[in-house]
Amino acid sequence: MARWIKVLHSDDPTPIAQIPFVVRAAGKELLLMKTLKGEWKSWEPQCPHQKASLMGVRPDEAGCIVCPLHRYRFCLEDGYETQGRGRLYLFPIKEVEHEVFVFL
């Protein structure tokens, strides 16, 4: 059953903007990041192409991440690869009263 799951609490340390970090929720590992505009993003930690790790990959100036294995470039606005070669799953995410929830 899908539901909103709290992944960050108001007493957790404040994340640094533009630096993704790992959280575990409902048995899943996810990457989360707060943008410079204060928006939250969450995505799966493996490239959908050949499951290469996206851990430690930071977004570029256009808000895209690049898989280190085959250089697939995914936009964190919609998850699509910029050359139409696939899509990275982005988890719905919201902040309510300084707590962050992901829909799983």
Average pLDDT, the chain: 95
Pick the CATH number of 4-103 from 1.10.287.70, 3.40.30.10, 3.40.50.150, 2.102.10.10: 2.102.10.10
> In b/e form, how buried is each residue of 33-45, taking b as 16+ CB within 10 angstroms?
bbeeeeebbbbbb
* CA–CA separation, 72 and 63 (whole Å): 14
DSSP letters along 1-64, please? ---EEEEE-TTSPPPPTT--EEEEETTEEEEEEE-TTS-EEEE-SB-TTT--B-TTPPP-TTSE
pLDDT in tens, 49-79: 999 999 999 999 999 999 999 999 999 999 9
Q: Is 95's pLDDT higher than 90?
A: yes
Give the domain ranges of the chain: 4-103
